[in-house]
Chains A and B, each alone.
Chain A
Amino acid sequence: MSIEVNNLSKFYGQQKALDGISFQAKPGQILGFLGPNGAGKSTMMKIATGFLLPDQGDVIIRGVSVTKHPQVVSKMVGYLPEHNPLYLDMYIPEFLSFMGGLYQLKGKDLANKVSRVMEECGLMPEKTKKIGQLSKGYRQRVGLAKTLVHDPAIIILDEPTTGLDPNQLVEIRKLIKTISINKTLVLSTHIMQEVEAICEKVVIIHRGKIVAQDLLQNLTATEKGFTFVLATEETLDMEWFSAFTLSDLKVLASNRFLIRTPDPQLFRKQALNLIQERQLNLVELKQENKNLEAVFHELTQKPV
């Protein structure tokens, strides 16, 4: 295993930030670490990189314990903290050389690695600029370049795409995907599309506890049947649906129902019939394909 998190707990005073978390990531896997804000994602990542000490449990990275040998582990891990802290007064190559120096790279080797990651992260056009002059998207690239400069086998990114505009978002996601080749990558986020776009395995935490962990495909498949949203201009009546074969029905609004059914074709036919019979004005009939989002809502809205 590349990363093994064993029964990790962390308290901030009375508050339990993490409560007995365990999961693993295989070599080469992209693991999405998902949870609402304040669920403990950052705490978990800070512990995995040795910035914080857990109150209980341990993180084993390629067979080495973080709590016992943080220096050994840090050489194998590239870490992008939340909010991407950078030295704004530095030029990009200066910053990357400085970071490489901290990881004991020297001379030619360092210079090669710096220019390689700058190439990889598309920073060459901006190399004469100070970091403070860069846009948020480029700063994020600098942050990613920094995590790669010592060529780590494991990359840990804490919310790498927050605050980016939609174009930058797509670019950074693409970049993350390319840099993760042959590396194990853990990425925290609260954006579902991101996980669906890049991750293979998903761990969902809520209030410091793991509420789900599985491969993305299994997780979305466990969803009971298919989900539809039906909305009309008129108020809907629950009784109209009594003849339907449904596994679940939720009232989102008086004219907007969330419906789960094992047979989507039959449901569509029945729904259209209903609309014709009752002379309703259809506003929306759509199959929810953001299944992960539904899973996320379901798992993280109930109190633990």
Chain B
Amino acid sequence: MTSLFWKEINAFFTNLTGYVIMAVFLAALGLIVWVFPGTSVLEYGFSDLEALFSYTPMVFMFLIPAITMRMIAEEKKSGTWELLMTSPLPVWQIMLAKYLATLVLIALTLLPTLVYYYSIVQLGDPVGNIDSAGFFGAFIGLLLMGAAMASIGMFSSSLTDNQIVAFVVGVFTSFMLYIGLSAMAELSGQWGYLLENISLSYHYESMSKGVIGAENVFYFAAFIGCILTVTWGIISKK
């Protein structure tokens, strides 16, 4: 399983697409957090990074399906899926190795944003005037959000052997579960509460302010578990 895990990490970095995805992600976030008026921290005037935490999921919605789209779809298309499936590795381990590799890639992409934290620490008046616990709490929330969207990406990649389809389905599913459900909750009175509760944004909201609630962590774990189980069901069908 480790061999497959490293293969995925290597494949990301030996390929130009990997760097493009990372560069675009950081450029988009950099613009939102530091340049665009209306969202820029500098304009906002408070030493916190709320902009980072409220806009990153939006960027994730495109970035993560771009990382995961090739995970299964490309292997199916090129036929190498047959090499993996006829190896002694159980199907769930193939999926898990690919999923864990995705998580590491997301974490690596997110890592440079720690520079933002350092910048705000330095820019604060007095220097160091920042809610560190709040920042790192929200950062963990962001990682959980990334993990949830990675599971959606794996799922959409398992549906098809076409990367573009996998990407589009991944973006759309993430969009529906993140924004779509809470928007629908406002539309439908009776089911509103339920829809609100199963949406990603509802559980992410308090986390983005740095509060790591057990129920939210449990929600994310269950969410990821469910989606990966469905994915496993799809790919182990022979």
B80 engages A85 (CB within 8 Å): yes
B80 engages A102 (CB within 8 Å): no
B14 engages A50 (CB within 8 Å): no
B64-99 CB contacts (< 8 Å) to partner A: 78-90
Q: Is B119 an interface residue (CB 8 A)?
A: no
Give the B-binding residues of A (Cβ under 8 A). 46, 49-53, 71-72, 74-75, 77, 79, 81-83, 85-87, 89, 97-104, 146
Give the A-binding residues of B (Cβ under 8 A). 2-4, 7, 11, 14-15, 78-90, 238
Residue of B2, B4, B14, B80 touching A86 (CB-CB under 8 A): B80
A102 engages B238 (CB within 8 Å): no
B89 engages A85 (CB within 8 Å): no
A89 engages B11 (CB within 8 Å): yes
B88 engages A104 (CB within 8 Å): yes
B88 engages A99 (CB within 8 Å): no
Residue of A49, A52, A98, A104 touching B7 (CB-CB under 8 A): A98
A71 engages B90 (CB within 8 Å): yes
Min CB distance B161 to A, Å, is: 12
A79 engages B4 (CB within 8 Å): no
Alpha-carbon distance A99/B4, docked complex (angstroms): 9
> Can you add 11 more A-B contacts, CB < 8 Å, to A97-B3, A102-B89, A103-B87?
A51-B85, A53-B238, A74-B87, A74-B88, A81-B86, A85-B82, A86-B80, A99-B83, A101-B2, A102-B3, A102-B84
Question: Does more than half of chain B's interface fall in helix, strand or loop, or is it mixed?
Answer: helix
10 A-B interface contacts by CB (under 8 A): A51-B82, A51-B238, A75-B88, A81-B82, A82-B79, A85-B79, A87-B78, A89-B15, A101-B2, A102-B3
Residue of B2, B83, B90 touching A85 (CB-CB under 8 A): B83
Residue of B11, B78, B81, B87 touching A102 (CB-CB under 8 A): B87
Alpha-carbon distance A75/B84, docked complex (angstroms): 12
Min CB distance B62 to A, Å, is: 24
A49 engages B86 (CB within 8 Å): yes
Min CB distance B218 to A, Å, is: 33
Alpha-carbon distance A100/B11, docked complex (angstroms): 17
Residues on A with C-beta less than 8 A from B80 are: 85-87
A89 engages B87 (CB within 8 Å): no
> Which residue of chain B has the shortest Cβ distance to A49 in the bound complex?
B86
Alpha-carbon distance A52/B2, docked complex (angstroms): 25
A79 engages B86 (CB within 8 Å): yes
A52 engages B238 (CB within 8 Å): yes
A102 engages B88 (CB within 8 Å): yes
User: Given A52-B238, A98-B7, does the pair A71, B88 have CB atoms closer than 8 Å?
Assistant: yes
Residues on A with C-beta less than 8 A from B11 are: 87, 89
B79 engages A81 (CB within 8 Å): yes
Residues on B with C-beta less than 8 A from A104 are: 88
A83 engages B79 (CB within 8 Å): yes
Residue of B4, B14, B79, B238 touching A101 (CB-CB under 8 A): B4
Residues on A with C-beta less than 8 A from B83 are: 81, 85, 99, 102, 146
Alpha-carbon distance A89/B70, docked complex (angstroms): 14
Alpha-carbon distance A79/B84, docked complex (angstroms): 11
Min CB distance A281 to B, Å, is: 53
User: Which of B78, B89, B238 has its CB near the most chain A CB atoms (within 10 A)?
Assistant: B238
Residues on B with C-beta less than 8 A from A99 are: 83, 87
B82 engages A103 (CB within 8 Å): no
B79 engages A103 (CB within 8 Å): no
Alpha-carbon distance A147/B88, docked complex (angstroms): 13
Alpha-carbon distance A51/B238, docked complex (angstroms): 7
Residues on A with C-beta less than 8 A from B90 are: 71
Residues on B with C-beta less than 8 A from A49 are: 86
Min CB distance A145 to B, Å, is: 13
Residues on B with C-beta less than 8 A from A98 are: 3-4, 7
